[in-house]
Amino acid sequence: MKSSGKKELLRSLKFLAFSVSAGVIEIAAFTLLNELSGWSYWPCYLIALGLSVLWNFTLNRRYTFQSANNIPAAMVKVAAFYCVFTPVSTVMGNYLAEELFWNEYLVTVLNMVANFVLEFLYDRFFVFRDSLDTNSVAKRKDGFGKGN
């Protein structure tokens, strides 16, 4: 496998690992809210999603995409993704859970899988496309500078 192919495979595996950790946060938060609050599906889902997005963005920016780009600009791009993904997944998830009586945990997991795939592609080819491997973590790995 070419060096760039190995690098992209490693990048994908890192994204998967951090997404799994974000998924744990999301499902734990969703479970607590769903079981203890008495709220309907959508507020539990939105709060849990928000917590997982913050966690995932922070780790993936630094370690997966190793980006030194402007953090607020990257956050705005990710927010734009969620301006589309969140309403669609919330409305569809609420419909499946509240109207069709699908299990709310199944619906949440389906949303998490869709989020994983779509966000990786969006982050890799839009948000961090021009700033891959530019931060201090990447420079240390390549032998440049001391980093922070």
Distance CA 111, CA 109 (A): 5
3-state secondary structure the chain: CCHHHHHHHHHHHHHHHHHHHHHHHHHHHHHHHHHHCCCCHHHHHHHHHHHHHHHHHHHHHHHHCCCCCCHHHHHHHHHHHHHHHHHHHHHHHHHHHHHCCCCHHHHHHHHHHHHHHHHHHHHHHHHCCCCCCCCHHHHHHHCCCCCC
pLDDT the model gives residue 145:
47
pLDDT at residue 117, as a whole number? 95
Q: Determine the angle formed by the axes of helices 104-122 and 41-59, rounding to 10 degrees.
A: 30
Between CA 65 and CA 121 the distance in angstroms is 12
Take residue 56 and report the two structure tokens written for it.
């995932």
> How confident is the model at residue 141, as a pLDDT?
74
Tokens describing residue 57: 């963005």
Angle in degrees, CA 145, 4, 81, rounded to 5: 85
pLDDT for 3 equals 80
Q: pLDDT per position in the chain (148 positions), as tens?
A: 678 889 999 999 999 999 999 999 999 999 999 999 999 999 999 999 999 999 999 999 999 999 998 999 999 999 999 999 999 999 999 999 999 999 999 999 999 999 999 999 999 999 999 999 999 999 887 654 444 4
